[in-house]
Amino acid sequence: MDGNDPAARKTAAKRVIALMRAGENVQFLFSNMLRCVQTDDIELKKLVYLYLINYSTQEPEQAIMAVGTFVKDAENRSPLIRALAVRTMCRIRLESVAENMIIPLKRCLSDPDAYVRKTAAFGVAKLYDVIPEAVENAGLFADLLNLLKDENPMVISNTTAAIFEINDHRTTPIFTLTPDTISPILNAFSACSEWCQCILLDALSRYVPTSKDDANFLIDRLIPFLKHKNPAVVIGSFKCIFLYMDTGSRNPTDLFPQIIPPFITLVTSSQPEVQYVVLRTLSLFVQKYPKALLKEIRVFFCKYNDPSYVKMEKLDIIVTVCGPQTAQLVLDELNEYCNTVDVAFVRKSVRAVGQIAIKVEAAARRCVDILIGLVGGKADYAVEESVIVMTDILRKFPGIFESTLQTVCQNFEAIKDPRAKSAAIWILGEYCSLISNVDVLLDPYLDTFHDEEPLVQLQILSSLVKVYLSNPDDTRDQLQFVLNEATKESTVPDVRNRALIYWRLLSADPAEAKSIVVFSKEAVSHSGISFDEAILNELIRNMGSVSGVLHIVPSDFVKRTRFVPDTTDSIDTLEVSVIARNWEKLRLNDTSFLEAFFDCDSTSIYLKLVNKSPAALTKLAFALNINPLGLVLGGEPKFPETIEFGDTAEVVIPIAWTGNPGHFDKNELQMALRTSMGDLFAVSRLPIECATVANDIGENMFKQNFTNIQNTVNFKIEDARIDQAQLAKRNIYFVGSNENKTYVNFTIGKSVFVAEIVQEERSLSGIIKSNDLQLLPLVQANAQYLFAAK
C-alpha cells in the first residue's frame, strides 16, 4: 500500500475493505490508506473514501488531513468525483471536517450536473445533523429550497427528503407544504423513479388539504398509483389517500372499491415479506373501518404454505373484520386451524375463537362448543389455551355457560403452562360453589406450591381463600398449609405479602373478609387488538414505516433532540408579529422535551413553548412562586389543549402586582409548568421594568427625596445609552438634566426611587436612592433593564 505500483495499491485497498466488512479492526492502517486518497483511479478513491467514512471519527487528527483532497475533488471536472467527494465528506461526523464542507457544498447545490445537485441536497441534511448552527448561518437553506424548482425530478425528490429530514431536527420547519408549494412535488411525481416516488409520497402525507376540492384532486391523482408494481408506492399512496379521505367530500365507502382491490392482490400474490407489511397496514385500516373488508374476509383465510408470521396477521384481521353475518363461516375455518401442528398458530386460533365469542354474542354458543371440544382433545397446548379463553367467556356471560365447568375441570391434569394453571385455579376458586370436590382438585397444586411460578402461587392463595370462605370446615387445613408455605422467607415477596394480608384479614373478621374477597367481576368487553383513537391516528400517519409495521408510535422508540434556531420564522413564509417580543430563554430543570422562552409587560407574562418531544404535550398548567415584586397570577392562563411534536405555542398569562413582596432569598422569578410529560421548574430574571407604576412625584418632591434620603447604591452599565422615550414607557419620569446627567424618579409598589444617571462615552453610571432597603439592591442589580435603551 505504501509502494508506487497503482495496481498493488488497489489490491491492498480491496483487501483492507474486505477485512473491514468482515468485522476486523483495521484502524491501524489509517495513515497508509490516507496516502492513497490522492489518486486519479476512481475505483481506488471509492475504496479509500469508504474506509475514511468508517474510521475518521476514531482518528480525528489524521482525518483533517484529507480535507484538502475532498475540497479539491469537489471541483473536479468529473461530476461523478464531485458527487463522491460531497457524499463522503458529509458522512464524516466530525465538526472539524464538516465545517470545511460548507463552501464546497454550497457550490455543488448549483452545480450544472443534476447528479451532483441531488447528492448535494442530501449532503445538507447530513451536515445539519453534525453542525446545525453553522448550516443555519451559512444560508444553505435558501439554496436548498431553490432546488424544489429544479427540472430534474430526482433532484426534487432528494431535496424534498432532505428538507423534511431537517424539519425533523428543527423546532420550526424551514419549509411547509401549502397549495402553492406542493405543485413542484406533484409535477415531479409521475416522472421520477419508484423509490423517489416513495420519498415524495412520504412528504405528501404531511400535507393537510385546505378544502374538499383540494383533497378530492389529490385523491384522484394518487388512485392510479395503487396499481403500481412496487408495493412501497402502493402503501404510500394508500396512506395519503387514507389521510385525505376525512377532508374530501366523498363518502369513504365510495372509495373502497377503488383502494381495496390492489391490497387484496398484494395479499394473495406477493412475497410473504410483502404480505406481512401489507397485512400490518390493513390491520390499522380495519381498526377504523372494520366493515370495509367484510365481503373480502375469505381472502384472509390461511393457506397451508403461509409462513407463521403471515398466518398470525391474517388471524388478527379476521377477528377484527368478523361480524354476525360471517361468524359461522369464520368459526368453521378457525376450528380447522385448531387441529394443526403449529403450536403458536393453534394457540392464537383458540384465542381468536374466544375473541369472536366476546365480540359477536350470537356466536358465543358455537365458540363454547369448539372450546369444549378442544378441552377434551389430546393436544395439551390446545387444552391450555382453551382454559385461558374460557375464563374470559365466563366473565363475559355470567350465568350462561356454567354448565360447562365440570367438563372443563375434568381435563386439568394435562395443564402445564403457568398461565393456564392460573386460569384453571381461578375457575376453581370463582365457581367453587358449583364444582364438586374443589378441595380434591386443588390438592395437586398444593403439593407443588413451592415449585410453581409466582403467578400460579398468587392464584392458589386467592382461590383457596374463596373456597375456605365458601366451605371453611373442609378446607381449613389446606388454607393453613398454604399460608404457612407462602410466608416462609424463601418465598417471593409478592406472594408472602398477599399471604400475610389474607391471614390478618381472615383472623380479624371472616365476614368482612368475604365481602372483600368475593365480589362480582367486571365483564370482559374486548379481548382483541384495540388502540386509543390518538394512537391509531398516529400509527395511520406512519403506515409503511417501521412505526406502522411494528404498531409502535415513533415517540416510544425514537428520542430526538431538536435544534432551536435564533429565529422561529419559516424560511419560505416569514410571519411578522404585530408586537416584536424580546424573548429570553428560561432556565428549566429539564430541557429534554421542552424549550421555553419568556417575556413580560405590566399586564401579562408571555411564554413561548417549543415541543421537542416526539409525543404531543397536553394537560398544561402554570404557577408562580412568591417573589420580591409581589407578582401573582391575575387570571387563569389559557393554554392550548395540545402542542404537537415540533410545534411552537405562545401563551398569554394575565398577571397582577400586589405590592406585597415575598421572600428575598434569590432575586429571580420562579415558575412551574405542568405537562403530560412531567412537571418542570423554570427560573428567569425578575422583570423589574414591568413592575413600575404610574406615579410622578414632581420636581419639588424629587429634590426633597434626593437631598434627604441617605440609602444609596451605585450602578454602571457598559455599552449603553439613555433614551427618554423608552424611560417614559417604563413609567420612569424625567425630572431634569444638567450637562451629561439625567435625573429621574419611579415607583415600585409603594416605594419611591430617585436616580441620577450619567451618560458617559460608551456606558451609563449613576446612583439610586430609596427608603426601601429591601428593594434597593434588587433595583441596583437590574439597573440595565430600567435605564438602558434597547
Ranges 93-102, 225-234, 280-289, 701-710: which has the least confidence: 93-102
Q: What is the pLDDT of residue 117?
A: 92
Same domain, 592 and 611: yes
Single pTM value for the model: 0.65
Ranges 368-372, 626-630, 762-766: which has the least confidence: 626-630
Question: Is position 155 within any domain?
Answer: no
User: Mind listing the pLDDT tens digit for each residue in 429-486?
Assistant: 888 888 888 888 888 888 888 888 999 999 999 999 998 888 888 888 888 998 888 8
Counting Cα atoms < 13 Å in the Cβ hemisphere of 706 gives 20
Question: Is position 677 within any domain?
Answer: yes
Structural domain boundaries, residue 507 = 417-519
Secondary structure E strands in 558-647? 584-585, 587-588, 594-600, 604-611, 617-618, 621-624, 631-633, 642-643
- Of 489 and 571, the one with more pLDDT: 489
CB-based contacts of 83-86 (< 8 A; 24+ apart in sequence): 83/108, 83/113, 83/115, 83/116, 83/119, 83/120, 84/42, 84/45, 84/46, 84/49, 85/49, 86/116, 86/119, 86/120, 86/123
**DSSP sequence for 40-106:** S-HHHHHHHHHHHHHHGGG-HHHHGGGHHHHHHHTT-S-HHHHHHHHHHHHHS--HHHHHTTHHHHH
Same domain, 606 and 680: yes
Whether the predicted pLDDT of 570 surpasses 60: no
Question: Is position 703 within any domain?
Answer: yes
Residue finishing a domain among 478, 495, 519? 519
Q: How many CB atoms lie within 10 A of CB 249?
A: 9
Q: What is the pLDDT of residue 568?
A: 43
User: Mind listing the pLDDT tens digit for each residue in 386-424?
Assistant: 999 999 899 888 888 888 888 888 888 878 899 999 999
User: Mind listing the pLDDT tens digit for each residue in 95-133?
Assistant: 878 888 888 888 899 889 999 999 999 889 888 888 888
Average pLDDT of 134-146? 87
Q: Tell me the helix, strand and coil percentages in the chain, rounded to 5.
A: 55, 15, 30
Residue finishing a domain among 519, 552, 568? 519
Same domain, 497 and 437: yes
Average pLDDT of 740-747? 91
pLDDT band at 10 (very low <50, low <70, confident <90, very high): confident
Same domain, 664 and 730: no
Same domain, 454 and 514: yes
Question: Is position 120 within any domain?
Answer: no
Average pLDDT of 583-598? 85
pLDDT band at 665 (very low <50, low <70, confident <90, very high): low
Question: Is position 35 within any domain?
Answer: no
Total domains in the fold of the chain? 3
User: Mind listing the pLDDT tens digit for each residue in 514-534?
Assistant: 888 887 776 666 656 777 888
pLDDT band at 165 (very low <50, low <70, confident <90, very high): confident
Give yes or no for a contact between 460 and 446, defined as CB atoms under 8 angstroms apart. yes
* CA terminus-to-terminus distance, the chain: 63
Question: Is position 736 within any domain?
Answer: yes
Q: Which CATH number belongs to the domain containing residue 767 in this structure? A: 3.30.310.10
Same domain, 595 and 668: yes
Same domain, 424 and 443: yes
Highest mean pLDDT among 334-338, 564-568, 592-596: 334-338
Residue finishing a domain among 686, 703, 733? 686
Question: Is position 631 within any domain?
Answer: yes
Same domain, 423 and 514: yes
User: Mind listing the pLDDT tens digit for each residue in 287-320?
Assistant: 888 888 888 899 999 988 899 999 999 999 999 9
Average pLDDT of 327-343? 92
Secondary structure, 3-state, 752-779: EEEEEEEECCCEEEEEEEECCCCHHHHH
Same domain, 680 and 588: yes
Q: How many CB atoms lie within 10 A of CB 72?
A: 13
Same domain, 664 and 735: no
Q: What is the pLDDT of residue 583?
A: 79
Q: Which CATH number belongs to the domain containing residue 627 in this structure? A: 2.60.40.1150
User: Mind listing the pLDDT tens digit for each residue in 32-85?
Assistant: 888 787 787 888 888 888 888 888 878 777 877 778 888 888 888 888 988 888
Separation in Å, CA 596 to CA 55, 265, 585? 39, 50, 6
Question: Is position 589 within any domain?
Answer: yes
Same domain, 451 and 483: yes
- Average pLDDT of the residues of the chain: 85
Same domain, 613 and 682: yes
Cα 467 to Cα 261: distance, rounded to the nearest angstrom: 56
User: C-alpha angle with apex 295: 292 to 296, nearest 5 degrees?
Assistant: 85
**DSSP sequence for 193-242:** -HHHHHHHHHHHTT---SSHHHHHHHHHHHGGGGG-SSHHHHHHHHHHHH
